[in-house]
Amino acid sequence: MTNPSLLELPPGVQLVYLAEGGANVIYRFVSAPVISTPIGRDRDLKSVSPIAVDVPPRFRGKLLRLRKETAADIPYKEINRNFNTIVRPLFKADELVDQTLTSLPNGLLKRCNEQLRAAEISGQRPKKRHGGYLCLHEPYGLLITDMTTFNEPGAILAELKPKWLTQSPSAPTTARRCRTCALREMKNQDLRLLGMKEQRSFCPLDLVSECFDRIFHATSFIKGCNDPARLARILHRNPTLQRLRTQQVSCNQVGLLGPPATSQRTSLDMTLRDCTMFIRIPRDEKSPVEIRLGDLDLKTGAGGKSTYWRKLEVTLIEDGWYNGTNSEGPSDCGLQDATTLDPTFQYII
């Protein structure tokens, strides 16, 4: 028997590929046959060229997320239930990339997989995603909030990972690096040994700093942002960012503490430390900015992840990465005094 409250996609629904990650593919709705399928850079929602479409009213402002066949094989019904019962109560409705379960018409997934294979042949699909296809036994999709700038000329979308806005509870009391900066420096050592370019990024602690210069320094690294000063003003004491930090402080059964890493509690705590913040900034500075958190599927410790999380924390502690004893040069980590900011960086507002 069909659930009368469940939204059903019509059999003739038309989709255009937008982006994909390791576990999902994102599509945009169109109401007319698509002549060609524009393929954007992997995970880059802004790279798709605008096309004139007439979106059905009930799908406006929404994208369709479809699940790939993966080893975890967690059905969307379970993912959506966890989102509604565990994640949604932690935030305000307008702070989340919302999602709604919807049933799929027969044959849709098969057609989408055919398009993915065709895109591989034509070179339009990212090579690292080749061979990964939609799960044919998944009867549902997820309608999610469209945070692209598709219908907003001049707007920009900034995207960032506000990981570990508070220090790991099992880090040494003598630590001079936050968890994110310690991990980055460890990875950079590996890159140096391979003769590769080091990674530079912001310290998450800077995002929730009271010092505006530290926030401004962080925004210079944020993807999609061509006005770091404006973005810094948006993030300074931002309530969504502050609420995420509060939840991370409360949900602190991470590192070497708390229940087994395979528990649901640890899954939530790690999920809150790996979500994505989408910031849609209109051209007009007087217009409201929209900020939402996404990528909030509960993480699982299956497949060796729980062992990896614990081993990584032990390595950061025992090999001195938290204390910075084997790091080359100064660190911009916000755990240290603000005077450690890169002196070559120009703070011009």
In angstroms, rounded to a whole number, what is the distance separating the alpha carbons of residues 128 and 117? 13
pLDDT surpassing 90 at residue 321: yes
Classify 326 in phi/psi space as left (phi over 0), alpha (psi -120 to 50) or beta. alpha
Mean predicted confidence (pLDDT) in 20-38:
75
CATH, domain range 7-145: 3.30.200.110
pLDDT surpassing 80 at residue 224: yes
pLDDT surpassing 80 at residue 223: yes
pLDDT surpassing 60 at residue 18: yes
Sheet containing 156-160, strands listed edge to edge, beginning at the edge strand earlier in sequence: 156-160, 276-281, 290-294
Which of these, 299, 307, 292, 291, lies nearest to 273 by C-alpha position? 299
- Please tell me the pTM assigned to this model: 0.86
Band of pLDDT at residue 320, cut at 50, 70 and 90: very high
Which of 12-16, 22-26, 31-35 has the lowest average pLDDT? Answer: 31-35
Per-residue model confidence (pLDDT) at position 69: 96
Per-residue model confidence (pLDDT) at position 97: 98
Band of pLDDT at residue 6, cut at 50, 70 and 90: confident
Per-residue model confidence (pLDDT) at position 26: 97
Break the chain into its structural domains and give their ranges.
7-145, 156-336
What is the SS3 assignment for 159?
strand
Is 137:35 a contact under the CB 8 Å cutoff? no
User: Over the stretch 163-181, which tens digit does the pLDDT of each residue have?
Assistant: 999 999 999 999 999 999 9
